[in-house]
Amino acid sequence: MNRKNTVPDSVGTGIGTQVSGADQQNTEHQIVDSLIATPTEIFLDRNTDMNNAQSFDDMVAVMYKYDSPEQIADAEAKFAGASKEKKAAFFGFAVVLLTKTEDLSNIQETITGDTALVVADTKPGAKLEVEFVNREGLWKMSKSKIVNR
């Protein structure tokens, strides 16, 4: 099941992408009861959506759906003024590094107050650690890193 975090009707991302028109139907406030959508569920949905992205702009839309404002600001700073070619190159690099959702295993979640940590084994033998913060009842990804064993 693909859960949705809230996204405004039209999002100007600040990184050269706009979510509107037909895409709006897929991102309009399909509000999830955050008591049901756990960090693990959000993690899996975000990972699936990232793997389904067809472009840099698609990845940005996923980020705006699932990531914390701090994570978004960090990405905006990294890609401020980036050319279309640089964004396309980043997308190509990201596609290679993404682990397919079905290749994630041993997923563990720890919630401490308004923060959570989801850890998953990746098929290539590394661990993916993803931190979340709870913002107004919604879990948002705040940081992720791959930890080699």
The three-state (H, E, C) secondary structure of the chain, written as one string: CCCCCCCCCCEECCCCCEECCHHHHHHCCCCCCCCCCCHHHHHHHHHHHHHHCCCHHHHHHHHHHHECHHHHHHHHHHHCCCCHHHHHHHHHHHHHHCCCHHHCEEEEEEEECCEEEEEEECCCCEEEEEEEEEECCEEEEEEEEEEEC
Res 149 pLDDT > 80: no
What percentage of the chain has pLDDT greater than the value 70? 75
Residue 146: predicted pLDDT: 84
Question: Which residue type, as a one-letter code, is found at position 105?
Answer: S
Task: Please indicate, yes or no, whether the overall pTM of this predicted structure exceeds 0.95.
Answer: no
As a whole number of angstroms, the distance between CA 84 and CA 90 comes to 10
The radius of gyration computed from the CA coordinates of the chain, to the nearest angstrom, equals 15
Average pLDDT, the chain: 81
Residue 7: predicted pLDDT: 39
Res 20 pLDDT > 50: no
Residue 115: predicted pLDDT: 96
* Local confidence band at 59 (pLDDT 50, 70, 90 cut-offs): very high
Res 111 pLDDT > 70: yes
Lowest mean pLDDT of 32-41, 75-84, 121-130, name the range: 32-41
φ/ψ region of 20 (left if φ > 0, alpha if ψ in -120 to 50, else beta) reads beta
Structure-model confidence comparison of residues 112 and 97, the more confident one? 112
As a whole number of angstroms, the distance between CA 64 and CA 72 comes to 7
Structure-model confidence comparison of residues 14 and 148, the more confident one? 148
Contact 128, 104 (CB under 8 A): yes
Domains with residue ranges and CATH for the chain: 11-148 (3.10.450.50)
Res 12 pLDDT > 80: no
* Local confidence band at 36 (pLDDT 50, 70, 90 cut-offs): low
Res 40 pLDDT > 80: yes
